[in-house]
Chain A
Amino acid sequence: MPNFKHQLFLFMSTKFFTFYFSPNNNKFHIRFIKKSRMISWQLKQSAYKSRYICVLISLFFYVTATAQKAELIKSAELFHMLGQCSAKNKIEVYNFWATWCAPCIREIPQFEAVNKLYEEVNITLISLDDADELNNQVNMFITKRKLDSKVVLLDETDFNEIINRVDTNWSGAIPATLIVDCRNGKRTFYEGEFKENELKYTIEKLLNSP
């Protein structure tokens, strides 16, 4: 059985609530409104702040994600690159490809995987796309696929001499891949698409050979 104190507490609390939250214009009510407005304003501010931070973060990611852009090179730079090794213990892999070449696109994940898997391997994807398509096609592709491997675009229109200088066995068809083992200077040339894991086997074989 509820006692008197209990009764009183109930009475007082209902009184207090009706007083405090009553729509009548008393000073408590005004204070409450003000306070709630302030809270909502503060909330809004912090929301802006967090949104601002979000934008900044996404901008940072956007910038880092699109930081890799294909560099335009001429044939002189290509042959300079093919003749050089970044380090003596490296295996340099040069893949000739283009965004319009379906088998090239199919094998690109293999190059990306090998690039991640072996520290000793350096991948360079040499695009033979039209230089006018650098931004529309090549850089778009790099961003879309989030390519890690280095990409350059060979800005040339006459390939007759270039093809033979890369390798005399190259017919000119792409995809084509040149692998240079910097430890012994051995060059291996492959024309055509690497089937699943074929590139990995090739690299492993090179790494396992003395």
Chain B
Amino acid sequence: MILRTILLTVFGVAFIISGMTRPQDLNVGDKASDFSLANFEGEMISFDSYDDAKGYIVIFTCNNCPYAKGYQQRIAELHDKYVSKGFPVIAINTSDSKDEITQRAKEMNYPFVYLYDETQKVTRAYGATNTPQVYVLKKDRTVAYIGAIDNNYKDANAADKHYVQDAIDALLANKEVKIFSTKAIGCSIKWKNI
């Protein structure tokens, strides 16, 4: 009986601790670390690959999550709208295989880079929790915004708060980003056991 109680307590405490230490490392105002990840053509991409960037839209996403799927078109539109203004989209796939990523990028004719984070080191370093999750970075790589693209996962036209666009527009106009953090339902990132 005593043994059982001790075991239960140990399990309980271990569980609570495991629940508390969720990766939530990068916050707004922090400087994001650089990375070097391969796109599907094998080319290594890092922040230095963009010479004239004024900032970056880093998006953690995956192929099959319904929320990520619902946003894939909007991610392409974000890139098309802001790449010429100096904010390219850098999409990082958190959990699919290289073949799956290549296939999706070709199928959808993605205008943005779609990177393969094999070891999930970058995803962990940023503390991404669910997909799709956006980090808007300034030129010096300080985080200006973390969260959702807009406030309607289902219907882009019904969204009336365009968080990412508003954040970038504010940065481009040298204004303060008013809403710098939002939350959205998303698929929890499948962590690999490495």
- Expressed in whole angstroms, the minimum distance between the Cβ of B61 and any Cβ of chain A is 13
A171, B183: Cβ atoms closer than 8 Å: yes
- Expressed in whole angstroms, the minimum distance between the Cβ of B151 and any Cβ of chain A is 4
> With A171-B130, A191-B19 known to touch, is A159 a contact of B8 (CB < 8 Å)?
no
In-complex Cβ contact of A158 among B22, B147, B151, B186 (8 A): B151
CA distance A15 to B68 in the complex (A): 89
List, in ascending order, chain B residues with CB within 8 A of A202's CB.
Answer: 12, 15
CA distance A24 to B163 in the complex (A): 97
- Expressed in whole angstroms, the minimum distance between the Cβ of A32 and any Cβ of chain B is 71
Interface 9-residue window, one of A50-58, A87-95, A113-121, A172-180 = A172-180
List, in ascending order, chain A residues with CB within 8 A of B153's CB.
Answer: 157, 159
A130, B186: Cβ atoms closer than 8 Å: no
A171, B66: Cβ atoms closer than 8 Å: no
Task: Kindly supply a per-residue 1/0 record for chain B positions 148-170, scoring 1 wherever the CB is within 8 Å of any chain A CB and 0 otherwise.
Answer: 10011111001001000000000
In-complex Cβ contact of A130 among B11, B22, B147, B154 (8 A): B154
CA distance A174 to B186 in the complex (A): 7
In-complex Cβ contact of B187 among A173, A201, A205 (8 A): A173
**A164 close to B (CB within 8 Å):** yes
CA distance A164 to B182 in the complex (A): 9
Query: What is the chain B residue whose CB lies nearest that of A198?
Result: B15
A interface bracket (residues with beta carbon within 8 Å of B) = 20 to 34
B19, A160: Cβ atoms closer than 8 Å: no
List, in ascending order, chain B residues with CB within 8 A of A171's CB.
Answer: 22, 24, 129-130, 183
List, in ascending order, chain B residues with CB within 8 A of A173's CB.
Answer: 129-130, 185-189
List, in ascending order, chain A residues with CB within 8 A of B151's CB.
Answer: 157-158, 160
> With A160-B151, A164-B183 known to touch, is A192 a contact of B15 (CB < 8 Å)?
no
- Expressed in whole angstroms, the minimum distance between the Cβ of A114 and any Cβ of chain B is 15
A205, B12: Cβ atoms closer than 8 Å: yes
List, in ascending order, chain B residues with CB within 8 A of A77's CB.
Answer: none
**B9 close to A (CB within 8 Å):** yes
**A141 close to B (CB within 8 Å):** no
A: residues with CB less than 8 A from B are: 98, 100-101, 103, 128, 130, 157-160, 163-164, 169-175, 190-193, 198, 201-202, 204-205, 208
Other than the given A100-B187, A173-B189, A174-B186, 10 more pairs (CB < 8 A) read A103-B188, A157-B151, A159-B185, A160-B183, A173-B185, A190-B19, A191-B22, A201-B8, A201-B12, A208-B8
Query: Can you list 22 pairs linking A and B with CB atoms under 8 Å apart?
Result: A98-B66, A100-B65, A100-B187, A128-B185, A157-B151, A157-B152, A157-B158, A158-B151, A159-B153, A159-B185, A172-B129, A172-B130, A172-B184, A173-B129, A173-B186, A174-B130, A190-B19, A191-B22, A191-B188, A201-B8, A205-B8, A208-B8
